[in-house]
């Protein structure tokens, strides 16, 4: 029973305390660049999740074989291999999404979340917990990308359309600036301020 509790806490940690964006502040570039819509956010998070799960499992499976002194180059090669796979799969099966995400699919390779988790977690824990960690971090990343994408899409275009389904529309004058670069900076600034505020309040309450 204690074991399943630990699994759950390791998973949920990726969404809350060690959330890639608001907790660890890693991987900002894709977070801001591709979140012009919910759909792009989901696509980016899916690609990143595939790479993160693959690299975490691979690194932890090989952690006893990898010499400590050359571990970073080896991690990078492992990650680059998975990114190449994602790149080719997305180009073949989801061409519109691939075109929208552009250079940011191959750039998953330099996403600090992935090498950060390989170094900080997968290198020290067994395959199962590394998988759970990767799933948790991916879920956290997905939620943040959907949140930012949703805010920007609804304020910038007045509606949310996901994979052809019209989910929501609000009768507001669309502020195009929100789907342009400044909107990304503004959204993340406000969200980070809210997170900081909540953290400070929690700390003040002594918890």
Instruction: Give the residues lining the site for another protein (CB under 8 A).
Output: 25-26, 28-30, 32-33, 73, 76-77, 80-81, 83-84, 87-88, 102-103, 106-107, 109-112, 115, 177, 180-182, 184-186, 188-190, 192-194, 196-197, 200
**Nearest CA to 152 among 160, 163, 143, 140?**
160
Residue (106 or 158) nearer to another protein, CB: 106
Cα(172)–Cα(54) distance, integer angstroms: 42
Question: Cβ of residue 89: shortest distance to another protein, in angstroms?
Answer: 12
- Residue nearer to another protein on the CB measure, 53 or 109: 109
By beta-carbon proximity to another protein, the closer residue of 7 and 94 is 94
Q: What DSSP letter does each residue of 105-150 carry, written as one string? A: TGGGGG-HHHHHHIIIIITTS-HHHHHHHHHHHHHHHHHHHHHHHH
Q: At which residue do the structure tokens 């061409």 appear?
A: 95
Burial 62-84 (b: 16+ CB within 10 A, else e): bbeebeeeebeebbbebbbebbe
What is the nearest approach in angstroms of another protein to the Cβ of residue 158?
20
Closest approach of Cβ 126 to another protein, in Å?
26
Q: Which is nearer to another protein, 113 or 131 (CB)?
A: 113
Taking the C-alpha atoms of residue 35 and residue 149, their distance in angstroms, rounded to an integer, is 4
Roughly how many angstroms between the first and final C-alpha of the chain, as a whole number? Answer: 26
Q: Which is nearer to another protein, 34 or 42 (CB)?
A: 34
Tell me the two tokens of residue 132. 């759970």
- Minimum distance from residue 91 beta carbon to another protein (Å): 11
Rounded least distance, CB 131 to another protein, Å: 23
Q: Which is nearer to another protein, 21 or 131 (CB)?
A: 21
| Least Å from the CB of residue 164 to another protein | 27
């Amino acid at each position: 029973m204690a074991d399943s509790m630990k699994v759950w806490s390791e998973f949920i940690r990726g969404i809350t305390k060690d959330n890639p964006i608001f907790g660890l502040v890693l991987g900002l570039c894709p977070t801001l660049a591709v979140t012009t819509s919910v759909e792009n956010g989901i696509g980016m998070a899916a690609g990143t999740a595939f790479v993160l799960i693959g690299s975490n499992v691979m690194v932890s499976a090989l952690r006893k074989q990898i010499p400590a002194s050359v571990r970073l180059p080896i991690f990078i090669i492992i990650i680059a291999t998975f990114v190449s796979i994602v790149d080719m799969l997305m180009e073949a099966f989801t061409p519109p999404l691939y075109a929208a995400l552009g250079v940011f699919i191959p750039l998953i390779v330099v996403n600090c979340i992935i090498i950060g988790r390989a170094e900080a977690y997968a290198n020290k824990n067994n395959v199962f917990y590394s998988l759970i960690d990767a799933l948790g971090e991916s879920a956290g990343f997905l939620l943040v990308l959907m949140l930012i994408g949703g805010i920007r899409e609804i304020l910038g275009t007045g509606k949310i359309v996901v994979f052809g389904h019209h989910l929501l529309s609000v009768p507001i004058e669309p502020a195009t600036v929100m789907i342009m670069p400044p909107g990304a900076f503004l959204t993340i600034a406000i969200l980070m301020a809210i997170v900081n505020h909540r953290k400070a309040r929690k700390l003040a309450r002594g918890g």
